Every structure is written in structure tokens, then in C-alpha cells.
Structure 1
Amino acid sequence: MIACRIALPMLLVLLSAQAPAQDLAAVQPRIDAGDYAGAEVLLRARLAQAPGDDEARFQLARVLAWQQRAAEAVPLYQDLLAREPGNADYLFGLAQAQLWSGERAGSQASVARLEGLAPAHPGLDGLRQQAAPQPPDAGALPQARGTAPGSREVGYTFRYDRLTQDLAAWRGDRIEVNGRDGDGRAWYAAAARERRFGLADTGVEAGIALPLAPRWALQLDGGGWPGSDFQPRWFGDVRLQHAFDSGTVLASSLRRTRYPEVTVDRLAVAVEQYWGDWRLGYTFNRTDVAGNRVSGHDVALDRYYGDRDAIGLRLTSGSEDALQGTDVVATAVRALAVQGRHGFADDWALHWGVGYVRQGAFYDRRWVQLGLRRAF
């Protein structure tokens, strides 16, 4: 009887001590299954029982960031680093969470610390690329920063162009899926339909951006419009870029576009400067249109005012290939556009844009576009 009285309390103590450990052991299967909310519940229960468990706090910071709640993860990483400043995984997690929550300057500072602490960290190269985001083209929409690893977006965009010279309006529809991985790789695939000059062309395109050596990235784009009347039959683009510590990015690209009757080659050299939540970019284009060599200039200014929000101004001047009826010719161009993206709710974002184009003496275009995207 005395032995039973002693053994029973000891058994209860052992069971109570093992319960938190069992909860923590159940976290990884939830993470592997993508059940981050379930993992969060278990981790918070563990920390309520064992507030000093830094491993549970580290895992909680990670699952919060993966649920697109990176701002909540930042103070957890900061607490962990206050106790263990030499932990490279904590510092990497902090830099990532700062980037995803829109704290660009803080993320860059954390990346610089990580480069000194652990230059061979397996995620460092990809994080460098994410910390210096690259919009795919000088005329493209400013892209949202802070995309979580494994996240995807699907979206639809409608565009309407009103032309002078009594020409019929242009209309376009585009459906796109894109994503970004945790190692810095990004990709997209799209299908589009354009209606111009009483004709309609349908095509597809896709692209991928790949981190190469530290601070180097390669971007490949291509697509085609089979049986097209005015759009290119196919195009291909190769872009190489290098990012510097100062926030400067240099890039060069080669693009070949094959229209039904002519081939257009373009060489582009670009420089970008990032500071805080701003980006300034300049691109010089040299284009060969059926033996005529022309040049153009693009200037872009972007303001990132949230992890999913941006607004940008585009100015274009010079000469480029343009449609005259269904023919492609070299013509002078002047263009101005304001474009942006604004996130709302949890997973939705609105894309918008307005602009004006003077296409030499052929026509002027005033255009507007509106799109909706959803993360999944």
C-alpha cells in the first residue's frame, strides 16, 4: 500500500512532464501537412506550459510567417536573438519575416548581419534575391514584396485602349498564375486574348526567374500566338542581373520577337536603385526592326507602401516597334502611365492602371486596365 501511494504521484508527475513534449512532437506532422493553424495551436499550448522553450518559440515564429502573419513573427525572432545572438537560423528567420512584413530596411540590415555570421547559410542566396525584388519589365506593374514561400496567385486582367484617328478600340483579357519559392525562384504562366482591327489573337506565355551565384539571377521568358494576325507568332527573352550591397541592380536582356512578316531584336540595359520603400529604374533599349535600328528610354519610379501594396510611375521616350494596322514598323513613341496594386481582405489584391501613348503620327492611345488577384 505504501509503495502504491508513492508510485501513483510519481507516475502523475512523469505524465505531466511528458505531455508538453508529446504536444511538441505532434507539431512537425502538422507542418508537413500544411496545417499551420493546427501547428500554431499546439505550439502556443507548449509555450503556455514551458515559456522558456525556445525551440517551440522558433517553430511558432515560422508557422506565423507561413500563414502570412510575418509581422507577428518578427518580435519572436528578436526575443530569440536577444538570448542567442549567434544563431544563424534565428537571424535568417528574422530577415525573412521582416521582408515579408514590408520592413525592407530592417531585412537588409539582418541580411548583412547574416552574411558576416554565416556566409554559407543555405538560404542566404535566395533571401538576397527576395530582398532586391526585380519587376520583370520597365513597363510592368510594380510587384508586391514579401511573398511567402510556396504561395501562389491567380488573377484576371481586362484592358481597354481608346484610339484617335477614328480607329476602333482595342480590348484585352489575361489570366495568369504565378508563384515564388523560398529559395528565390519565381515563375508565371498566362493566357491572353487581344481584339484589334476587327481581328482577335489568342496566345500563351510563361517565365521563370532563377537565383544563380550569390547576387546573380537569370530570368527566362517566352510565349507564342499560333496563327496570329497581328500579335507575334513567338518571342523569347533572356535577362541576367546582378545586385550590389548598396541596393543597386544592373541587368541586361536580349529579346527576339517573330511577327508574321518581320523579326524584331531588342537589346536592353537597365539600372535600378532601391532605398527604403522606393525603387528608381532606367532602361535603355536598342531595337532592330526589319533593318532599322532605333533606341528608346524607360524610366520607372515605384513606392512600396505595404507588403502587398505598390504604386508606380512609368515614362517612355524614343523609338520602338509598333503596330500600324497589322504591320510592324519603327516609330517614335511618348508614353506616360500610373499603375499599382492594392491588397485587401486576406488573400485578394486589386491591380489597376491608366496611361497615355503617342504613337508617332499614327494615333494616340488612352488606356485603362483593371485586374483582380487571389492568393492560394
Structure 2
Amino acid sequence: MTLELEVPRRAAAWPRAVAHVLVASLGCGLALGLQAQDWQAAIRAGDYDRARTALEGALLASPGDEELRYEHARVLGFLGSVDAALADLDALLARHPDNADYLLGRAQMLARLGRNEAALDSTAKALELAPDYADVWALHLQLTERTADRAATEALRREIAVRFPDSDWWRRPPAPAEYMRWLSVDWGTDRLSNGAPDWSRESLRLDWQTTGGASLYGAIADGRRFDRSDSTLELGGSWQALARWRIGAGLAATGDTDFEPARTLSASAQRPWADGWGTELGFKRREYSSADVTTYSFTGDKYVADYRIAYRIEYSRLLGAGSSTGHALMLGWYPNERRTLGVTLGAGEEIETVGLDRLLRTRVSSVTLNGRETLSPRFAFRWWLGTHRQGDFYRRRYGGLALRVGF
């Protein structure tokens, strides 16, 4: 009897155990399925914060799921967490170095960081693995255009045309109306502390670009300080030199000067480098009635996605009165092609006119906010606001507006 009773019990327990395992498995699979539906629906809706939360929950349950890791990287990219997205993609490529999708994603993140040469390396490898991958070709073309190498860009465009003759994404877009000459009208004012008279300055400037790529300008300015006025005429331009250098030069002259230099000679040399880096060397010589001031400057900048970070150091020497050093940190934001915003922080020493026939070296500090708005291909304006402390002599609070018209 005991045996007869035991057999049914074991037979009944076995189905129950199997049922528990099946229920647990189905429950886990159902949960994962619901999580997959959640992040997929969130991505379709453009709710990337919710997609990120759902994907991170799914990755906790399945940390080795490479599809989830790839989608997580894509969502991080949409949210602007480019470095974190790049880390996910690098981890995937460490296991699958020949995956063209991962290489494309990595190139996209590198491009957003301004690391164009590294991004080009990734797209080139992806094209070796998937030579008919149109998205990779499109990004490779965009990155090549950024190098400003016209010959390489056109050669690549011809190669793409042969491979994708029925597509039009590779075709050069119609050129917008291009203005070769621009007229700018500037107005600015400075309010001084310590009861000193306010300053003001107005200028009219004409810029034009030649068919050979040179940029030329001429300007007339009228400034008023300390109840006196000076009028200045300035001419200059910039030209492409060697492979990637651009050289600039300018000459300004003021007649019967009260506070402006009688003559100013300036020169500059600019060059872009790899991965969004750039440098500029500058020289300026100002000849006042009482002394000459020579200034040398170096600027280094870096473009990261929609931002520019730059640092400039200036060394000035006043004949017979020593030297001074100034520093400036510049931060710029380019949210779109029509708008720019920036801030410049300055500190150090400066040799400047602090009164009639008074050219002195003083400690200075300044903060300047500036922006530019492009209203149309023909019209644009820029503005600036700031404060400048000139040692113990005065503090200037200044602002200005400039309107630019193309014709």
C-alpha cells in the first residue's frame, strides 16, 4: 500500500515542478518581451529618456545581449551622451571588429566629437566590409567634405555616383544665392566709472571676396573718448597660402590723433589641424605719438560637436616701459547655421590709452558676451555686451550692435 501511495505522489509532484519551471521561464520571457516592446515604442515616439531606462533594465537582465547594447549606444547618441555611446560601441567592436553597423555608429559619434580623421578611418573600414552600405558612404562623403580637400571630395562623389546612380543624396545641393560683397554698420558705446566721459564708436566697413578665394576689406571708423574724437581708415585682407595656411594683413591710419595710434600694422597666420584643432599666430604694431607698442599673440582652439573652446595669450612690449601679458578664454556655441553665442573671459596686463597722452601698463579683467543672428542669406546682425576693468583708473561697461547686408 505504501508503494501504491508513493507513486502517485511522485507522479503528481513532477508535473508541479515542471509547471513551476515553465511558469518562471514564461514569466521571464514575458518580462523581457514587455521590456523590448517598451524601449522600441519609446524610440518610435522619440522618448529617448524612457528608452534609455527600459534598455538599462533589459541589460541588467541580459548583460551579454549585443543587440540591446547597440540600441543602448544609439539612444545615448540621441540624448547627446556621445562619450558614453562611444564606450558602448568600442566594447561591441572589441568582440566584433568586423561589424559594419558598429563601425558606422562609432564613426557617427567620433564625428560629433570633432574627431574627423578617426571617424574617416572607421567609415573606410566599414566600406571595406560592406561596400554597398549607402549610409556609410553618405557619412564618409560628409566627413571628406569637412577636410576642405575639394579634389578628394569630388573624386569620392564621382565614385559614389557610379555605385548609386539612381540615388540623389550624394549630389551637390544647389548653391544658395552667394553674396561676394557685404556692407556692415557698427555702433558701440562705453560707460565709464569715476565720472569719466563716456566713449562711443561708429564704423562703416566693406568686405568683399574675390573669385580666387581672397577676402579684402576697407573700413572707416570714428571714435570719441574724453571729449575728443579720432577718425581712422583701415585696409586689409586674407589669402590662402601653402596647403592649409591662411595669411592675413591689415594697415590702419589715424590723422591728427588724440588717443588712437597714428598707424597700426597687423598680420596673422591661421591653420586648421586634425580632429577639430586649430591655431592662429598674430602680430600687431601700434605707433602712438609718445611710444610704439608691439604685440605678439598665439591662439589655440578646438571644435567639439557644436562648441568651440579657444585660448589666446598676448605678449606686448612698450618701448622703454617694459612688457605685459594678457590671457583670454573663449567659449562659443553654434546651435545651428543661423545663430552663434559666445563668452570671452580676459585677464592679465594691457598697454592701453587711459587718457590723453597717457599710455600705461595696467592690470585688466573683462567679460564679454556676444552673438550673431543670420536673418537671411543677405541680412545678419551681431551684438556684444561686457565689462572691462582698467586697473584703478576706471571700469567700462560696453555694448554694441552691427548690421551686415550682402549685395
Larger RCO (CA within 8 A; separation ≥ 6): 1
Q: Residue deviations 1:245-267, cap 9 Å, x none?
A: 22211221221100111100011
Structure 1 residue identity aligned to 2:276: G
Q: Residue deviations 1:18-71, cap 9 Å, x none?
A: xxxxxxxxxxxxxxxxxxxxxxxxxxxxxxxxxxxxxxxxxxxxxxxxxxxxxx
Distance in 2, Cα, partners of 1:158 & 1:273: 30
Query: What is residue 109 of structure 1 aligned with on the other side?
Result: 144
Aligned residues: 251
Query: What is residue 191 of structure 1 aligned with on the other side?
Result: 220
Is structure 2 residue 228 aligned with structure 1 residue 212? Answer: no
Query: What is residue 327 of structure 2 aligned with on the other side?
Result: 297
Q: Residue deviations 1:197-241, cap 9 Å, x none?
A: 110100111221111111111111221111111101010111122
Q: Which of 353, 369, 373 is equivalent to 2:404?
A: 373
Distance in 2, Cα, partners of 1:249 & 1:148: 29
Structure 1 residue identity aligned to 2:315: R
Is structure 2 residue 236 aligned with structure 1 residue 201? Answer: no
Distance in 1, Cα, partners of 2:148 & 2:246: 22
Q: Which of 280, 296, 306 is equivalent to 1:267?
A: 296
Structure 1 residue identity aligned to 2:354: Q
Query: What is residue 161 of structure 1 aligned with on the other side?
Result: 190
Distance in 2, Cα, partners of 1:255 & 1:336: 23
Asked whether the equivalents of residues 148 and 182 of structure 1 are also in contact (C-alpha less than 8 Å), the reply is no
Normalized per residue, which structure has more helix? Answer: 2
Deviation at 1:109, TM superposition (A): 3.4
Structure exhibiting the larger radius of gyration computed from Cα positions: 2
Query: What is residue 341 of structure 2 aligned with on the other side?
Result: 311
Query: What is residue 367 of structure 2 aligned with on the other side?
Result: 336
Q: 1:250 to 1:227 in 2, by over 3 A?
A: same
Taking only the aligned residue pairs, the percentage that are identical comes to 24
Structure 2 residue identity aligned to 1:165: N
Q: Which of 351, 363, 368 is equivalent to 2:394?
A: 363
Structure 1 residue identity aligned to 2:254: W
Deviation at 1:294, TM superposition (A): 0.9
**1:134-283 matches, cutoff 5 A:** 151-181=180-210, 183-283=212-312
Asked whether the equivalents of residues 150 and 182 of structure 1 are also in contact (C-alpha less than 8 Å), the reply is no
Deviation at 1:168, TM superposition (A): 0.8
Q: 1:183 to 1:273 in 2, by over 3 A?
A: farther
Deviation at 1:119, TM superposition (A): 9.5
Q: Residue deviations 1:115-162, cap 9 Å, x none?
A: 7847999xxxxxxxxxxxxxxxxxxxxxxxx99765221111111100
Deviation at 1:195, TM superposition (A): 0.7
Q: RMSD of aligned C-alpha atoms? A: 2.9
Structure 2 residue identity aligned to 1:374: V
User: TM (normalized to structure 1)?
Assistant: 0.61
1:227 is paired with a residue whose SS is coil
Structure 1 unaligned segments of length 5 or more: list them: 1-97, 122-145
Structure 1 residue identity aligned to 2:186: T
Asked whether the equivalents of residues 149 and 181 of structure 1 are also in contact (C-alpha less than 8 Å), the reply is no
Distance in 2, Cα, partners of 1:259 & 1:217: 29
Distance in 1, Cα, partners of 2:312 & 2:372: 22
